Amino acid sequence: MANTTGLKSYFQFKNVDWGSMMSATWETVWMTLLSMVAIVILGIILGLILYETRSKSGVGYRILNWIVGLFVNIFRSIPFIILIILLLPITMKLAGTIIGPRAALPSLIISAAPFYARMVESYFREVDSGVLEAAESMGATTWEIITKVLLPESKPALIAGATVTTISLIGYTAMAGAIGAGGLGNLAYQDGFQASNNTVTLVATVIICLFVFIVQFVGDVFVKITDKRTL
Amino acid sequence: MIRFNNVSKQYNTKDGGLTAVNDVNIEINDGEIFGIVGYSGAGKSTLVRMLDGLEAPSTGEIDINGTDVAKLHGGQLRKQRQKIGMIFQHFNLLWSRTVIDNIALPLEIAKVPKAKRKQRAEELIKLVGLEGREHSYPSELSGGQKQRVGIARALANEPTILISDEATSALDPDTTNEVLDLLLKINKEMNLTILLITHEMHAIAKVCERVAVMDSGRVVETGSVFEVFRHPKQDITKKFVSEEFTPQQSDNTMTLEELVKKYPDGQIIRLVFHGPQAELPIVSDVVKHFPELTISIISGAIHQTQEGALGSLDLQLVGDQSQIDQALEYLKTLRVGTEVIHHG
């Protein structure tokens, strides 16, 4: 149905199936948000382990730090597109399918959580050591120091890091879409590229850009609300 | 009663062992304000951090009312820490919490119920004079106000000991005095033992009863502040005391050589008075008795310590040598400490 060529081919809006555009948008949004929830939780846990075991002297701590560090470094260095393929059997087992948004979740989470974990570790290290010492001198347990000092004092950084991670994750969902995970990436590839319908590709691009802008804006607002260092 | 018995602390560094605290013995009485003075790196902070178990001594014992703190672990140690309040040079407040929530933090840690936390935090806000700022964040406060929050937070769990680790060192002189006055007030009202770590002799003179002078990990001199100021024994103590008596050091205090160059004639003497003498008209007395002498005042200072006023005055006496000698004799009868700095 789309045979126009040249610049005009980008503006054949009558050729856009708005229904499938809508559902593809929702697929991208929920794929991103759902995996983000898991990434934030997992990233903070891994980041905490890396932070807490870093300067401890016990053998157990050393081993734990080494294992988590290795896991994080390996999955952070595998290119995403390769990771999807590598994880196909695991995905099949976890999601029961290798096609659709559900199937994209494991690889999205496994690739982005280590990335976020490294950021989290560095944010924790930036928390004022004097404040940590003050809490220790009050008789706080390690858990109290984590929940009452470490997490609240690094909250704006954690949010800013999550924003950056979400944005790169949106890029990953599009990549996953291209190999069958659904969403706007899938739509742009199949209905846009393979059906030579440039308008669909353009519209999908614009929607993804808007999504990125919104995520950035919301992230900035939350950073501003939570940061009480300069008023 | 706090007792440091033969306490030492060694660190292993790349360049070999480092002795931060070397065989320290100190006794601090309940309800006393005890000063520890020394330059940075003298081991003062390391020493007091051991009280809190933030550092463990390499050898020796730290006894607080019969408990050897160095032997405590886990829950017992955390319980002990709640009985010791600590205030810091850089306040160490949580920027993410309001004033009242910062003060409530130690109460949360001590598992005080919520309603009681609020009540106690409000009492403390009143005590340190921060009414109306409860819901401000630390970034909205001045340095002095931040330290008041620090003090309120340190007092939250009704400790018996308060450690002040260079708590006034980041504050301007006026604010320093305000904070010191507040420490005096809580010491009297709550019968709190206060350990004041500082490199400013001024703070020691103002609030402490006794002082220990530390140098390279050792306590080189201990005694009542009054005695240490009047008769400093060690060179480092003399240095601290004279720094305090010439507070304008940075801008216009001259070294002895410069003084001698500027006032080449006669004799330069330093008078040290204490107690009621500081209020006597000593200089005009000398002028009346020895009218032929020319007396110029070079510099001077008076300080209020916990045991009374303590002052020093540098004078240049020009005139007949026998007259000068008689004047010095006369000063001795007034029981004024007299030291000849330079013979012309």
pLDDT in tens, B288-318: 888 888 888 877 777 777 777 777 788 888 8
Average pLDDT score over residue span B235-258? 66
**A228 interfaces chain B, CB cutoff of 8 Å:** yes
Asked if B109 and A139 come within 8 Å (Cβ–Cβ), the reply is: yes
By the 10 Å C-beta count (0-12 exposed, 13-18 middle, 19+ buried), A166 is classed as buried
Asked if A153 and B140 come within 8 Å (Cβ–Cβ), the reply is: no
Lowest mean pLDDT among A34-48, B184-198, B301-315: B301-315
Nearest CA in chain B to A137: B81
Q: How far is CA B16 from CA A55, B22, B58, in A?
A: 21, 16, 15
Asked if A134 and B88 come within 8 Å (Cβ–Cβ), the reply is: yes
b/e code B129-159 from CB counts within 10 Å (16+ = b): ebeebeebbbeebebbbbbbbbbbbbbbbeb
Asked if A131 and B79 come within 8 Å (Cβ–Cβ), the reply is: no
pLDDT in tens, B61-116: 999 998 898 888 888 999 999 999 999 999 999 999 999 999 999 999 999 999 99
Please tell me the distance from the alpha carbon of residue B197 to that of residue B195, in angstroms, as a whole number. Answer: 6
Please tell me the distance from the alpha carbon of residue A122 to that of residue A32, in angstroms, as a whole number. Answer: 24
Residue A1 in this model has a pLDDT that exceeds 60: no
Nearest CA in chain A to B83: A138
Q: Which of B86, B92, B106 sits opposite A131 (nearest CB)?
A: B92
Other Cβ atoms closer than 10 A to A110: 23
* Residues contacting residue B115 through CB under 8 Å, at least 6 positions apart: none
**In the numeric block, which tokens belong to residue B10?**
């060694």
**In the numeric block, which tokens belong to residue B28?**
């601090």
Please tell me the distance from the alpha carbon of residue B223 to that of residue B211, in angstroms, as a whole number. Answer: 6
Of A93-102, A198-207, B268-277, give the range with the top mean pLDDT.
Answer: A198-207
Name the pLDDT band for B16 (thresholds 50, 70, 90).
confident
Please tell me the distance from the alpha carbon of residue B33 to that of residue B15, in angstroms, as a whole number. Answer: 37
ipTM of the complex: 0.84
Residue B336 in this model has a pLDDT that exceeds 90: no
Q: Which runs of E-coded beta strand occur in chain B?
A: 2-13, 16-28, 33-37, 59-64, 67-68, 84-88, 161-165, 193-198, 210-215, 218-224, 267-274, 294-305, 308-318, 337-343
A128 to chain B: which residues are within 8 Å by CB? 92
Other Cβ atoms closer than 10 A to B111: 7
- Report helix, strand or coil for B172: coil
Among A47, A66, A70, residue whose Cα is nearest residue A151: A47
- Describe the strand order of the beta sheet including B84-88 as a list of residue ranges: B84-88, B161-165, B193-198, B33-37, B210-215, B218-224
Q: What is the mean pLDDT of chain A?
A: 89
Other Cβ atoms closer than 10 A to A6: 7
Domain ranges for chain B:
2-233, 249-343
Structural domains in chain A, CATH included, are 10-122+155-226 (1.10.3720.10)
Distance from CA of A162 to the nearest CA of B (A): 19
By residue count, chain B amounts to 344
pLDDT of residue B252: 46
**A137 interfaces chain B, CB cutoff of 8 Å:** yes
Among B318, B85, B76, residue whose Cα is nearest residue B183: B85
* Distance, C-alpha B110 to centroid of its chain: 30
Q: Which of A130, A152, A230 sits opposite B139 (nearest CB)?
A: A230
Average pLDDT score over residue span B44-63? 90
CATH class assigned to B249-343: alpha beta
Name the pLDDT band for A67 (thresholds 50, 70, 90).
very high
List, as one string, the DSSP characters of B210-240. Answer: EEEEEETTEEEEEEEHHHHHHS--SHHHHHH
Asked if A130 and B78 come within 8 Å (Cβ–Cβ), the reply is: no
**A146 interfaces chain B, CB cutoff of 8 Å:** no
Residue A115 in this model has a pLDDT that exceeds 90: yes
Asked if B80 and A133 come within 8 Å (Cβ–Cβ), the reply is: no
Q: Which of A137, A146, A153, A229 to mutate to test the interface with B (most CBs of B within 10 A)?
A: A137
Q: Which of A136, A137, A153 sits opposite B94 (nearest CB)?
A: A153
Residue A72 in this model has a pLDDT that exceeds 90: yes
Phi, psi of B149 (to 5 degrees): -65, -45
Please tell me the distance from the alpha carbon of residue A183 to that of residue A196, in angstroms, as a whole number. Answer: 18
With contact defined as beta carbons under 8 Å apart, do B211 and B228 qualify? yes
Asked if A131 and B93 come within 8 Å (Cβ–Cβ), the reply is: yes
Residue A2 in this model has a pLDDT that exceeds 50: no
Phi, psi of B265 (to 5 degrees): -85, 160
Q: Facing residues of B59 across strands?
A: B8
Please tell me the distance from the alpha carbon of residue B265 to that of residue B268, in angstroms, as a whole number. Answer: 9
Asked if A134 and B79 come within 8 Å (Cβ–Cβ), the reply is: no
Residue A191 in this model has a pLDDT that exceeds 70: yes
> What sign does the dihedral B319-B324-B326-B328 (CA atoms) show?
positive
Distance from CA of A130 to the nearest CA of B (A): 5
Is domain B2-233 given the CATH code 3.40.50.300 in the classification? yes
Please tell me the distance from the alpha carbon of residue B164 to that of residue B195, in angstroms, as a whole number. Answer: 6
Please tell me the distance from the alpha carbon of residue B311 to that of residue B313, in angstroms, as a whole number. Answer: 7
